[in-house]
Chains A and B, each alone.
Chain A
Amino acid sequence: MMSPTQWDLPPELCCRPMAFVALTGLDVTYNAIHRAIWDAFCVNRRADRVPISFKVLPGDHEYPKCRTKRTSYEWYIPKGILKTGWMNKHLNLVPALVVLFYELDWDDPVWKEKQSECATKVEIVRTSLQGRNTKVAVVLIQKKTPLPPGEDIVASERAASLCNTCDLSGKSLFVLPHTDHLVGYIIRLENAFYEHAQTYYYTEIRRVKSHKEFLNKTTHQLLFVRHQFKIAFFSELKQDTQNALKYYRTAYGLVHELRAHETNVLEIKTMAGFINYKICRLCFQHNTPLDAIAQFRKHIDQCKKKIGSAELAFEHTAWMSKQFQSFGDLFDEAIKLGLTAIQTQNPGFYYQQAAYYAQERKQQATYMCAHEPTVSYPSPDPLETSTGVLDFYGQRAWRQGHQSIDPTDAEKEKVGILALQMKEKNVPHSELIIALLSNAVAQFKKYKCPRMKSHLMVQMGEEYYHAKDYTKALKLLDYVMCDYRTERWWSLLTSILGTALRCSYLMAHVKDYITYSMELIGRASTLHEEQKSRIEKNLIKVLMNEVPEAEPDCDQVSAHAAQALWGDRMSLAGSNQFTIEVQDYVPFVQCKAKFLSPSFHLDDPVHLLLYLRVDCPHPVRFSKLCISLSNQEYNKFCVVEESCKSQDSLEPLSPENMCLVPGKTCKYSFKFVAKTEDVGKKIEITAVDLMLGSDSGRCVFLNWRGGGGDAASSHEALQAARSFKSRGRVPEQHVEWDTVSIQASTMIISRIPKISVQLSHKPPALNNEMYCITVSIQSNEETVVKDVKLTAGVKPGQDANLTQSTHVTLNGLEVCDDSHPALLPDISIGDLEPGQTVEKSLYVCCVTTGPRIFLFHVAYTMTTKVEGKEITCKCHKDETVTIETVVPFEVAVKFVSTKFEHLDRVYVDIPFLLMTDLLSASPWPLHLVTSQLQLAPTMAGLDEPQSQVEQVVLQTGECASECFSLQCPPVLNGTSSVASGQYLISWKRKSSCADAPVVTTVVTLPHVMVESIPLYVHAELPSFGRVRESLPVRYHIQNRTGLVQDVEMSVEPSDAFMFSGLKQVRLRILPGAEHEMLYNFYPLMAGYQNLPLLNISLVRFPTVSGQLLRRFLPSRIFVKPQGRQEDDASIAAA
């Protein structure tokens, strides 16, 4: 009975109760039809089929005997609450319905015989079920498909007769035609069976309820519980879970009303546990998880204090553990069926609590079951019973059915308890605890509780440690340690490290032992000084290849075994060198490395400082310190060794430097000269290695990646930075550890050039000109600088168009073109003596306007001495300048008539003027060398056009204008737009030297509309008139067409003039001929006077109006007043 599963709930309690129906008369082994019927009942039952558990039993099966019913409870004293067999009996042994299958067709030839045989079989079953309410039903297996009810008279007659013979009600006789639709028939059958079963359980409930009136409260308290439990269980079988829950709750209340004492407390708790399980299960099933949780809490609160016998206290904790575990299982199962749990209410908590009780059980078992080895298991076994099982749940084997307060036999009791204790000793407690913890871990992982998970893993690790499975323990502890370390819970980390140290000690894992020791004596450990001191001494022993002292709290036997293991380790040669990466721990040695500056010039030695500090109780010696750099060539300069014979290192090291005193910061300084090829590169500290121990014993390299620091140092540095503590109070030479910051890399940059580069030029640059920039380079070095090279031009990295539109040359005598580059690289200048200056002129031609950045890069080499070493340095100096480019002048062109009237079109063969205005936009004076008009073939100059602005100097804002008289040859059709040609201006800066090239700027003249006219009129008249003096005016009218033109002319009268001549005339002009009209005007008024209007109209060209033609004629004339002296002259002229 005392199996490891004693505390497990019985399976009949945990299953879902289903109505039990027995099928008899089926030969499933040899009869294929019967087999098919049985399969239809039980194979692939889907969830929507009625909940029945079927069993095939032989026709003469013996059902459990029904005891004679008690008529009175008056003298009855119950022996226990619930018999162990009861639930199983009603689930699997006593059917609610027995179904007899019998092959019989209605038209069977031997009907009578078969009918009586069937009746006999029914009778056999009935006899076996004597006293039970189990129903019997008969199913006739028929080969023929039955006719619809009422049609087959033989069938109904024979059915009635069969019912009569077998003493069956009509409802209990079924026909199962063996046809194609077997499953359909079976489903209808089982629904009918289910109804019968329901009735059966209903009567059972009524039967149990009927006992109640006979019970009294003093002697039958156990029966109250038993009956309620039974009613509830029957209700469950009936699938009436609501009522089942109600009865279980009543039963639960009653079980706690029982008088509990030491002898029956186990029975009460067992039953309470069962009922609680049922309640919780049903609550989850009804989707009321909060009820389940509330019930469970109530249950625990009520039972927590019911410990029972002190000598068997572990039984209580075992039971408690099981309670929590089974609730956790129920909860988890409900979640799998769709319930949602939350972070603070999930199965994990129950598993965790179960584990706690299991731990407590283990502790109790350890000291309660610590018997002397001489004590042997009692014989005969007091836990044996005659049947091998207990009669009632939760009773003692040696006093079954005993219900009084005191045990009957004190001696028997003692032996029984001893037997239980001896059994408990063999329970694999750790296994149980670990299983529960790992269940809990899985849950907490699911519900976002990382810290809870870590905590449980620590407990698992500790349990593995207790179970002496050190490898697994270390694996778990190692896994969670870093979580506690990153969260800076040092107290918890220390505790875990302590366990880990013991594990590694007991396994004699040297490397792990050293690692854990280093952290335990470091600053993150919360251990006391004396403990740290002990661990440090052990660590030193290990470093000297000796056996360390045993850790306290280790059990004697294991510690002894460990000593032997350590002895073996000692004798093992070769494996005595370890490298421990300490960056991710908080070791007792702290390390910080820094380059003194984030960059060093090539001619400065690189200066590197390394700080070390120990936090352990006693001073520690190290035997070697080396720093690895990204360029390994420098590593040899960064070593501290016992036999310090390296003359390469720049600072002498004293041996006392090798001893690290707790709390004191040790500083090591290294210097080296960087190599020329490292200019522009980063030098990084890749690792720092500190060797503890010695080659003769064990040597351990503590390895820091990068510039040191560990898991705690970044936070410490942050805190130090925030701190108010002033560094002023710290005495000289003493370094405040926290204020040291790590600088793990430095740049090697080229030497600062001692050279000056100066630019002289006159901005802005003018478009297209050869802009001169003079670079003067002066050496301020103390030695000769060699190989000076100048790179000059547009600074790379600007707009690509700028590179296209800028040309640089050294030759300023000719204008450069596209073949010249934008940047002239490496113009060799040669060597420069100290103080010497060199000048170089550079010409830049900017094709487009806008700003440009120009770069002047001077590079050279020289040799210098650093720390007594001669090194060759490459230096360079950059100078940049932004130069704006502007247009030198703006050119405006316009067409005007010979009267300087604006023209929007010109007329064939009629002269007009082209005027150019050249406005200087340059801030510097411009020298216009010459200008030139290049006419298109569609234009002709009236005379040889000569530049009118030759050798003119324009100041800023000044304007130079030119005027050319032009005329258009005839065009093909009436009007068209024609090109005019180009205007070329040759210029240069006034300030530029004489041989500077002349820049020619080409301006394309605008197109102009040219129109032919049929008639041209021009007047010939003096430049002025005089009052009352004759003014002769001659109008020439030309016919420009190839036709004879009829012209009508008239002169309108005017107030200012009298005139003589033809006032109105109509004449005819031959093609190409010219007609001349003479008028004598006689001015009457002085001042500007409008001439009398001449109206001309062409008969053939009505479109050519007088208005158009009038444009060619002067409209007015200045009339001078009559002068006295000149009277005679005027008369003479008249």
Chain B
Amino acid sequence: MAVCIAVIAKENYPLYIRSVPTQNELKFHYTVHTSLDVVEEKISAVGKAMADQRELYLGLLYPTEDYKVYGYVTNSKVKFVIVVDSSNASLRDNEIRSMFRKLHNSFTDVMCNPFYNPGDTIRSKAFDGMVSTMMVQTS
């Protein structure tokens, strides 16, 4: 389960960031922000060759001592970042993929809301609830 989930706009500013409340929130913000370096690099590397049939899932962006950071980019260049604890060995690539898929679906729902202005921070309860199910449960 994730310790931090973030949705980043095309212009690289955060649309949504949730992290486990027990830890330093700012640290996760920095982690997500720095991971954008790798995301950008991966997008630009792929972008030239075959932009349309690009794999949305970017895989493990970079491992730090304590966390693993995974990335996902939608076709509209909105980025999803999931941070999981390094010690959490139970999470396989497939599970991370399915988490991203869920996140993407839920994000699509948010975008479909006519009252949501694309580019604004996400304040959807449904989205929040879905993210909660993917987060590490803290007692």
Known: A492-B29, A492-B33. A719 touches B13 (CB 8 A): no
Known: A356-B65, A722-B118. A492 touches B26 (CB 8 A): yes
For A356, the chain B residues whose CB sits under 8 A away are 65
Q: How many residues in B have their beta carbons less than 8 Å from beta carbons of A?
A: 25
| 15-65 of chain B: CB within 8 A of chain A | 17, 25-26, 29-30, 33-34, 36-38, 41, 61-62, 64-65
A300, A489, A715: the one contacting B33 at CB < 8 Å is A489
Are A448 and B41 within 8 A (Cβ)? yes
> Cα distance A491–B41 when bound, in Å?
24
Known: A487-B13, A724-B115. A449 touches B65 (CB 8 A): no
Known: A487-B12, A487-B13, A489-B14. A724 touches B33 (CB 8 A): no
Q: A495 within 8 Å of B by Cβ? A: yes
For B17, the chain A residues whose CB sits under 8 A away are 491
A450-458, A615-623, A673-681, A687-695 - interface stretch: A450-458
Are B114 and A451 within 8 A (Cβ)? no
Question: How far in angstroms is the closest Cβ of chain B from A450?
Answer: 6
Label chain A's interface by main secondary structure: helix
For B11, the chain A residues whose CB sits under 8 A away are 487-488, 715
Task: Name B39's closest neighbour in chain A (CB-CB).
Answer: A451
Are A349 and B26 within 8 A (Cβ)? no
For B37, the chain A residues whose CB sits under 8 A away are 343, 448-452
For A724, the chain B residues whose CB sits under 8 A away are 114-115, 117
| 358-409 of chain A: CB within 8 A of chain B | none
Are A495 and B26 within 8 A (Cβ)? yes
Question: How far in angstroms is the closest Cβ of chain A from B116?
Answer: 9
Question: How far in angstroms is the closest Cβ of chain B from A792?
Answer: 57
> Cα distance A487–B17 when bound, in Å?
15
Are B30 and A455 within 8 A (Cβ)? yes
Q: How many residues in A have their beta carbons less than 8 Å from beta carbons of B?
A: 25
Known: A489-B13, A492-B30. A719 touches B120 (CB 8 A): yes
| 698-731 of chain A: CB within 8 A of chain B | 715, 718-719, 722-724
For A488, the chain B residues whose CB sits under 8 A away are 11-14
Contact digits for A495-533, partner B, Cβ 8 Å, 1 yes 0 no? 100000000000000000000000000000000000000
Q: A216 within 8 Å of B by Cβ? A: no
Known: A724-B114, A724-B115. A344 touches B62 (CB 8 A): yes
> Cα distance A458–B34 when bound, in Å?
12
Are B29 and A451 within 8 A (Cβ)? no
Task: Name A718's closest neighbour in chain B (CB-CB).
Answer: B119
Question: How far in angstroms is the closest Cβ of chain B from A353?
Answer: 5
For B38, the chain A residues whose CB sits under 8 A away are 343-344, 449
Known: A343-B38, A491-B26, A492-B26. A451 touches B117 (CB 8 A): no
Task: Name A491's closest neighbour in chain B (CB-CB).
Answer: B29
Task: Name A342's closest neighbour in chain B (CB-CB).
Answer: B41
Question: How far in angstroms is the closest Cβ of chain B from A433?
Answer: 16
| 421-456 of chain A: CB within 8 A of chain B | 448-452, 455
Are B119 and A451 within 8 A (Cβ)? no
Contact digits for A280-320, partner B, Cβ 8 Å, 1 yes 0 no? 00000000000000000000100000000000000000000
For B41, the chain A residues whose CB sits under 8 A away are 343, 448
Q: Choose among A489, A492, A724 the residue with the greatest number of B CB atoms under 10 Å from its CB.
A: A489
Contact digits for A452-467, partner B, Cβ 8 Å, 1 yes 0 no? 1001001000000000
> Cα distance A448–B13 when bound, in Å?
19
Contact digits for B109-131, partner A, Cβ 8 Å, 1 yes 0 no? 00000110111100000000000
> Cα distance A343–B39 when bound, in Å?
11
24 of the cross-chain contacts (CB-CB < 8 Å) are: A343-B38, A344-B61, A353-B64, A449-B34, A451-B33, A451-B34, A452-B37, A455-B30, A455-B33, A458-B30, A487-B13, A487-B33, A488-B11, A488-B12, A488-B13, A491-B25, A492-B33, A715-B11, A715-B119, A719-B120, A722-B117, A722-B119, A724-B114, A724-B117
Q: What are the 6 closest A-B residue pairs judged by CB atoms, nearest first?
A: A488-B13, A449-B37, A452-B34, A344-B62, A451-B34, A723-B117
> CB within 8 Å of A: which residues of B?
11-14, 17, 25-26, 29-30, 33-34, 36-38, 41, 61-62, 64-65, 114-115, 117-120
> CB within 8 Å of B: which residues of A?
300, 343-344, 349, 353, 356, 448-452, 455, 458, 487-489, 491-492, 495, 715, 718-719, 722-724
